[in-house]
Structure 1
Amino acid sequence: DSLIREAAGDAGAGVVLTHDELHALPASGDVAPFKRDEVAYIQYSSGSTSAPKGVLITQKAIIANAHGIMNHGLDISENDRAFSWLPFYHDMGLVGFCLTPMLCQMTVDYLATPAFARRPALWLKLMSDNQSTIAYAPSFGYDLAARRVNGGASELDLSHWRAAGIGGDMVRADMLSEFAERMKAAGFDEKAFVPSYGMAESTLAISFDTLGKGIVVDNVDRAKMKLSQKAVPVSGREILLKPERVRSFVACGKPMPGHQLEVRGNDGKVLGEREVGHVMIKGPSLMAGYYHNEEATRAVIGEDGFLDTGDMGYLLDGQIVLTGRAKDLILHNGRNIWPQDIEWSAEQLDELRSGDVAAFGVEDENGEEQVTVLVQCRLRDSEKREALRRDVARVVHQSAGVECNVVLVPPRSLPFTSSGKLSRAGAKKDYLAGIICEIASDSQTPQMMAAAS
């Protein structure tokens, strides 16, 4: 006891009690009811575009968000059984698969996040065994699981999975289509996909697409979006004949009841359908502010109560379609370039995987942003590395119409947030600081490459 008290005292603990001393204390009265506006917990944002901030979530915000998830987004019933490998320090894991299930008394089976990372296919195996009906993951989670199952889908039974939610990052239609195709033998119905939109500043959920509908892909003219900031739809013929001119997005549904969503221009005016602008939200799920950061709070919450999410997007029949993060946008020769366009096109190359590419703008001596593309390279042969560099430059030019500086870096160089999102801001910072270094064709030995991978 003395050793513990001494250590606790050094740590600044005001009170130190043993179990016996604690049980000897007189019983207290009834637990005081919580107040609606009191802070329940501090949720740190993912920090994908800036330093993480402490988001103050109140009791009423939790109840409002959970109510929307239960009754609107997922229509949870007594017959549902959820499954989650999402970490509890992330809002999707904490609110979506811990607090909400407790409030509606829904059974949840958990798989530790590190266990999923080691064996992604175990997620689907356990869902099959437990006949799970609800599960969520970012797009990359579906991609990892599908690639690891290989030919064993016929041994699984995913026919009970009625709500396969996607959130936490941009929804990738290509990854989801591949997952649905591979899991068809397991009885998975692609109409179970539920694209969603959310963020820590709104407790978790903002919008859900309609249950039982699957994903709705909106194909728009890439060049017109860059020049006019309008999502102009293209015909099926154009998609087939000129796919490089098409950009595809997934609709993420309408806001939950009691919540509002608007898309505004740089002047603050509300935009019409298919006009790309800043996504603004308002409702009972919003945070009380950022912990000990009134300046940052005022920067995102206006006098009208709307919060600037930092996301860009447009409305399609009342549904929100996200196009990317405002801070990630690259301004090159007067054009807006989305880094996702560059990254996703490069990752289609056989030598690369999802998460291997980070694109951002770097100012030159004239103050103009030049496109820089960091590529995690596993190739050891110098000629193959140079071929990869040329291939990346080629597909980037085809998809985005720009010349770029392709920088090959060792595997595991790119930083990711605690929720698994690529941190482009972190990648840019580390690159400019010399923390992420280019692979030199004549100085990086095979042994060094093997150690990095």
Structure 2
Amino acid sequence: MIGVTAGAAERALAPAGPARGPVDLTGPRARVPGRSLEEVVRPFEEAGRGITFLDGRDRRTLTYRELAGRAAAVAQRLGEFGVRPGDRVAANAGNDLDTVALLMGVWFAGAAFVSLPKPSRRDAGRFARDFGQLLKACDCAFAVTEDTESELAAFGGLKVIPAAALRGLEPLTRGVPDALIGDTALIQFTSGSVSMPKGVAIGSSTLAGHIDMLRRHYQLEPDHDRIVSWLPLYHDMGLIAAFLQALIARVDLVLMPPTSFAYGPATWLNTLAAERGTFTAAPDFAYRMAATVPYDSGLDLSGVRVSLCGGERVNPRTMRDFQTATEPLGLLPGALIPSYGLAENVVGVSSPTHGLGPRVGPGGHVPLGAPMPGVAVRAPEGPVPGPVLIRGAYLFDGYHTIDGFIPAARGGWHDTGDDGFIHDGELHVVGRRAEVASIAGRNVFAEDIEAVVRDTAGAAVGACAAFRLHSDDQRFGLMVEVPPSTARAGDGIGELGSGIRAAVRDALGVRVATVQVVRVGTIPRTTSGKVQRAHCRQLHAEGTLGRRLLAAID
């Protein structure tokens, strides 16, 4: 039987009634960036520092000057394929030299980079259809791809640039393309956790200003800092918080493929220690996984000064478990920094410069700091949550959707779609408004249910997703993945599901309508690793899980 932990039992749910009046928090004034985006992505002057690409035992280091020469050659070749300033070039971004040279080369050529996530094999057809339509809608003309018969390019009506044609080029030292980057520098897609992804258009000056703000906010210095990251470059945390922040600060970056963490969670901290990293970042689920694996007692993390946690709701138990696991390894409590951000504000919204160790605010929610410089946040005064709104210097230009471009409100407030509150000068985010139900006079968020499952089931559950039912949007369904060993054993799976439902009832006073226990890999995820609740709701309604469904408790 699954018991209810103290952390889950003490979690207080907010009444469904009106929140208290909104409170505005404004970060320090934004500075004018020291470099334009053109200067940021053409680091010919930096010969001493650069990027180390790690992939298993393979290790390759290039200085920023060498990367600039390669990017210039890529830009020249892109021009031969017809790419002109202001054009848009789409590609799947991997954590490798080819991607970095392509990304910088697109900007060298004055074009915008359209960052595509990696498609899953199971949803390859759907990915090509959906993103092909999105690319057509956002006037993207080119796609760099390994597949010259790309289904994605066909759906989008794109001209294919073979990835092989951009490899092995002689770096340029003369005749370097120096086109100005157009108004739009980057189009990155929303996670699609609750709806169809949308292309978020980021302006050139906005992007340059934001990464310069991050550099100043976290006080990155070339002589002292070294960023270590496995986060995918097709996601905003990996692309902007790691790669672009390293590029503007001209600090060393160690870049690993995302699979290095997926196949071995200990690899992240082992590499962080071995490379003497001082800065890293990851979502909550990564900290949760990293806290459960063994480490060598000689591992030294005392040099880490910033370890950001963001990208999804930060669970207080995750923070406590991670601190417990890493304290013997020398990680200082102040290095662990919960944060909040979204693509519509480039990446960062709120974060302290230094952590205060794992903290819990009203209702068991983790404080996420005050707004960053140049950012303003509006939310109710806690503890009753309400809409979280943002505005400031780094808001996106608008959304590219299948139905056309939707401009962002200039100078106004942007609704993040999250609910939260402000307490003691810090933002607390509760959950996505699209996945909340009013039950017995209280607001229950999908994230509340998922947190109880993780807190109470522990290693018995690999992942979980709560979702409102199609038939009754005031009731939740729950999909729970179990490890292969549990799935093979078969015995006790139904009891596990019943125990999970009882734990949610005891902790939150909510009866989950159905619990589906499924095999690992069944729950669909976004490109950043978030569970796709809308897709889970669809799978439940269609009843098409087949052999992936191990037990259903209704």
Provide, for residues 297-342 of structure 1, a one-character-per-residue CA deviation record: whole Å limited to 9, x for no partner: 36xx446521111111000122110000111112335532112222
1:57 and 1:384 map into 2 onto residues whose CA distance is: 50
Corresponding residue to 1:43 among 179, 188, 192: 188
Q: Which is further off, 49-58 or 272-281? A: 272-281
2:374 paired with 1:258: yes
Amino acid of the residue matched to residue 388 of structure 2? V
Q: Which residue of 2 aligns with 1:285?
A: 394
Amino acid of the residue matched to residue 315 of structure 1? I
Amino acid of the residue matched to residue 373 of structure 1? L
Corresponding residue to 2:352 among 206, 209, 227: 209
Give the alignment of 1:209-358 within 5 angstroms: 209-220=352-363, 248-263=364-379, 271-292=380-401, 297=406, 301-302=408-409, 304-350=411-457, 352=459, 355-358=462-465
Q: Which residue of 1 aligns with 2:492?
A: 384
Corresponding residue to 1:118 among 263, 268, 281: 263
Q: Which is further off, 306-315 or 178-187? A: 178-187
1:128 and 1:429 map into 2 onto residues whose CA distance is: 43
Q: Name the SS of the counterpart of 1:250 in structure 2.
A: coil
Question: Could you tell me how far 1:155 is from its partner in structure 2?
Answer: 1.7
Q: Name the SS of the counterpart of 1:388 in structure 2.
A: helix
Question: Could you tell me how far 1:173 is from its partner in structure 2?
Answer: 1.7
User: Does the CA-based 8 Å contact 1:46-1:419 persist in structure 2?
Assistant: yes
Corresponding residue to 2:317 among 174, 197, 200: 174
Question: Could you tell me how far 1:376 is from its partner in structure 2?
Answer: 2.2
Corresponding residue to 2:529 among 398, 408, 420: 420
Q: Where does structure 2 lack aligned partners over 5 or more consecutive residues?
A: 1-80, 82-147
Q: Name the SS of the counterpart of 2:455 in structure 1.
A: coil
Q: Which residue of 2 aligns with 1:393?
A: 501
- Quick one: higher RCO (CA 8 Å, sep 6+), 1 or 2? 2
User: Does the CA-based 8 Å contact 2:457-2:500 persist in structure 1?
Assistant: no
User: Does the CA-based 8 Å contact 1:153-1:182 persist in structure 2?
Assistant: no
Amino acid of the residue matched to residue 537 of structure 2? K
User: Does the CA-based 8 Å contact 1:216-1:251 persist in structure 2?
Assistant: yes
Q: Which residue of 1 aligns with 2:326?
A: 183
1:195 and 1:131 map into 2 onto residues whose CA distance is: 22
Change over 3 Å in CA distance of 1:427–1:275 after alignment to 2: same
1:44 and 1:253 map into 2 onto residues whose CA distance is: 25
Q: Which residue of 2 aligns with 1:236?
A: none
Provide, for residues 275-305 of structure 1, a one-character-per-residue CA deviation record: whole Å limited to 9, x for no partner: 411111111211111125677836xx44652
Q: Name the SS of the counterpart of 2:292 in structure 1.
A: helix
Q: Name the SS of the counterpart of 2:247 in structure 1.
A: helix
2:241 and 2:460 map into 1 onto residues whose CA distance is: 28
1:92 and 1:311 map into 2 onto residues whose CA distance is: 18
2:212 paired with 1:77: no
Q: Name the SS of the counterpart of 2:429 in structure 1.
A: strand
User: Does the CA-based 8 Å contact 1:194-1:209 persist in structure 2?
Assistant: yes
Question: Could you tell me how far 1:116 is from its partner in structure 2?
Answer: 1.6
User: Does the CA-based 8 Å contact 2:501-2:515 persist in structure 1?
Assistant: yes
Corresponding residue to 1:138 among 260, 280, 283: 283
Q: Name the SS of the counterpart of 2:406 in structure 1.
A: helix
Change over 3 Å in CA distance of 1:355–1:303 after alignment to 2: farther
Change over 3 Å in CA distance of 1:195–1:402 after alignment to 2: same
Question: Could you tell me how far 1:369 is from its partner in structure 2?
Answer: 2.5
User: Does the CA-based 8 Å contact 2:462-2:520 persist in structure 1?
Assistant: no
2:452 and 2:336 map into 1 onto residues whose CA distance is: 23
Question: Could you tell me how far 1:219 is from its partner in structure 2?
Answer: 3.7
2:356 paired with 1:199: no
User: Does the CA-based 8 Å contact 1:342-1:399 persist in structure 2?
Assistant: no
Change over 3 Å in CA distance of 1:305–1:375 after alignment to 2: same
1:155 and 1:368 map into 2 onto residues whose CA distance is: 51
Percent sequence identity over aligned pairs? 29
2:238 and 2:206 map into 1 onto residues whose CA distance is: 16
Q: Name the SS of the counterpart of 1:32 in structure 2.
A: coil
Q: Name the SS of the counterpart of 1:147 in structure 2.
A: coil
Question: Could you tell me how far 1:251 is from its partner in structure 2?
Answer: 0.8
Q: Which residue of 1 aligns with 2:198?
A: 53
1:376 and 1:403 map into 2 onto residues whose CA distance is: 19
Amino acid of the residue matched to residue 366 of structure 2? V
Amino acid of the residue matched to residue 335 of structure 2? A
User: Does the CA-based 8 Å contact 1:345-1:396 persist in structure 2?
Assistant: yes
Give the alignment of 1:97-116 within 5 angstroms: 97-116=242-261
2:240 paired with 1:95: yes
Question: Could you tell me how far 1:47 is from its partner in structure 2?
Answer: 0.8
Change over 3 Å in CA distance of 1:125–1:308 after alignment to 2: same
Q: Name the SS of the counterpart of 1:323 in structure 2.
A: strand
Change over 3 Å in CA distance of 1:193–1:354 after alignment to 2: farther
1:29 and 1:70 map into 2 onto residues whose CA distance is: 27
Question: Could you tell me how far 1:30 is from its partner in structure 2?
Answer: 6.6
Provide, for residues 111-134 of structure 1, a one-character-per-residue CA deviation record: whole Å limited to 9, x for no partner: 111112111211111111121100
Q: Which residue of 2 aligns with 1:33?
A: 180
Q: Structure 2 length as normaliser, TM-score?
A: 0.64
Q: Name the SS of the counterpart of 2:242 in structure 1.
A: helix
Q: Which is further off, 49-58 or 372-381? A: 372-381
User: Does the CA-based 8 Å contact 2:378-2:389 persist in structure 1?
Assistant: yes
Aligned residues: 388
Q: Which residue of 1 aligns with 2:78?
A: none
Question: Could you tell me how far 1:272 is from its partner in structure 2?
Answer: 3.1
Provide, for residues 19-71 of structure 1, a one-character-per-residue CA deviation record: whole Å limited to 9, x for no partner: 9xx99xxx979723335xx0002101111111111111111111121122111
Q: What's the RMSD between the two structures over aligned residues? A: 3.0
Q: Name the SS of the counterpart of 2:211 in structure 1.
A: helix
Q: Structure 1 length as normaliser, TM-score?
A: 0.78
1:140 and 1:354 map into 2 onto residues whose CA distance is: 13
Change over 3 Å in CA distance of 1:105–1:262 after alignment to 2: same
User: Does the CA-based 8 Å contact 2:516-2:551 persist in structure 1?
Assistant: no
2:490 and 2:372 map into 1 onto residues whose CA distance is: 53
Question: Could you tell me how far 1:212 is from its partner in structure 2?
Answer: 4.3
